[in-house]
Amino acid sequence: MKQERHPPSQPPPSQPPPAGGAPHSPSPAGGHAGTPSGVRHSLRAFRHRDFTIFWCGALVSSTGSWLSNLAVPYVLYQITGSAFWVGLVSVAQFVPSVFLAPAGGTLADRRSRKRILLATQSGMAVSALLLWAVWTSGQRDPAVMLVLVGVGGVFAGFNMPTWQSFVSDLVPRGDLHSAVTLNSLQFNTARSLGPAIAGLLLAVLGPSWTFLLNAVSFLFVLAALAAIHPRAGRPQQAAPAGMTRQFLAAPRYIRRQPGIVMSLVVSVLVGMLGHPIFQFTVVFAESVFRAGPVGLGLLNAALGLGAVVAAPLVSGWHHKLRLGPVVRWGLMLYGLSMIGFAAAPGYAWGVVALIVVGGSFLAVISSVNTSIQVIVADGMRGRVMACRIACYTASLPVGGLLQGLAADWLGPRWTVCGAGALLAAGAVTLMRPRGRARLDRLDDPHDDAHLCAATAT
């Protein structure tokens, strides 16, 4: 991987907090004295050229991906009329990541992350192009579409841990919170733009254009990757071991880090209980609100809009808002807003509820991701992120299938209402004042001390 020196005008990476401290300890006044905050401060990662280029290319590509992410469950629901088939999209998309993320995370710690991303993004582009070709040929078999979604999921399994780790290669540690939140903002901005565009395309031109534009959008992130040069400073492995042995060091390391363990617990809660609502917009638009493809696009756009609104609050005031309380109240609001969506008397109320759902999702997910990125020792970053992705992506198809079956049996309103109530109950359970299993551990400090012990063979 090509390395780049810090220009004289750029401040050096911030030093990690002393052992036993917390990276976000507030001052008596409610924040670090003299620490800048606000919307402008939340955008500080954009000061770095490579991050800005990568972010812009990723935004276009992610927007294209959301065209397909909406079109696939939409056409499957049109073909089958079953919420269970909508849940199967999550299985095809995310199950490969459960098994391949460990290998991807190990590669991310041993090889050039930029080269890995160039390879995986190219593979995802080819799978998207195949999906377009199959649809335009007149093939309407749901199983064939799920297989092609699964092919893209295979490349995504290697891509996701590398992508998450790569963000830390583009900014110094002092700007990592901004970079992680802006990375989540990029994804959720795309979630706002992509479905809105997809709804119009589905209504006017049909699914084939959504699949084609998704394939073309990968060219932008590939061009961005070709134009950037990641930062120096990633530690190298002292002695290469087998891939399996290297990855197994990650669970041993995680067990000694309660903050990372808590991040994984929250990720699984969100994946099983909260995330399926993103697929259930298809069911609500068709069977509850009778809103059509344009209305479906606006429901998904509301989710992205909420995330866009929440991102500056989460990142710009992170010195005054510790991660533990943000996640605690974010989970509560997430669950309650899901209940509000399920009970919405009309389409407009549903849109408003989804704005709150999207903001809560961004606050929780970006906070737990930031917690892991801050705590983890640099040489373990790729493998630990792979564990986080494997846990999260394993929970997505489980939650999608269970809620899909429940929706076919109980109806979508009762299903989403029950999932929201369980998510809020989970937040209450984790509000314990003492012990390892508490949300305050998300604010644990950066760790380098146990790296040697974790990687010892």
Report the chain (457 residues): mean pLDDT per 10 consecutive residues: 39 38 38 51 81 93 87 86 79 79 78 90 94 90 89 87 83 79 78 79 88 94 91 50 70 87 92 88 86 83 82 62 85 95 93 93 86 83 82 84 87 93 90 68 73 43
Establish if 1 belongs to a structural domain: no
Answer whether residue 16 is part of any domain. no
Q: List the Cα angle 213/361/262 in 5-degree steps.
A: 125
Please indicate, yes or no, if residue 203 is contained in any of the structural domains: yes
Q: Is residue 25 part of a domain?
A: no
The CATH number assigned to the domain holding 258 equals 1.20.1250.20
The answer to whether 386 and 161 have CB atoms below 8 angstroms apart is yes
Q: Which residue, among 86, 308, 100, has the nearest Cα to 187 in the 3D structure?
A: 308
Structure tokens given for 436: 């390892």
Residue 263 within a domain: yes
Q: Both tokens of residue 113?
A: 């992350």
CA distance 435 to 428: 15
Phi, psi of 324, rounded to the nearest 5 degrees: -55, -55
Total domains, the chain:
1
**What is the rounded distance in angstroms from the CA atom of residue 35 to the CA atom of residue 10?**
18
Q: Distance between CA atoms of 12 and 425, rounded to whole angstroms?
A: 43
The angle formed by the CA atoms of residues 244, 245 and 249, to the nearest 5 degrees, is 115
The pLDDT value given to residue 27: 36
pLDDT computed for residue 432 by the predictor = 67
Query: Given this model, what pLDDT does residue 297 score?
Result: 80
Range of the domain at 263: 39-231+241-455
Region of 338 on the Ramachandran plot (φ > 0 left; ψ -120 to 50 alpha; else beta): alpha
pLDDT value of residue 452: 44
Spatial separation of the C-alpha atoms in residues 14 and 176, rounded to whole Å: 10
Is residue 122 assigned to a domain?
Answer: yes
| 8: in domain | no
Q: What is the pLDDT of residue 308?
A: 77
Nearest to 12 by CA among 169, 130, 173: 173
Angle, helices 49-80 vs 83-110, to 10°: value is: 150
> 33-71: b or e for each residue (b if 16 or more CB lie within 10 Å)?
eeeebeeebbbbbbebebbbbbbbbbbbbbbbbbbbbbb
Q: Is residue 416 part of a domain?
A: yes
Give Cβ neighbours of residue 227 (< 8 Å, ≥ 6 apart).
53
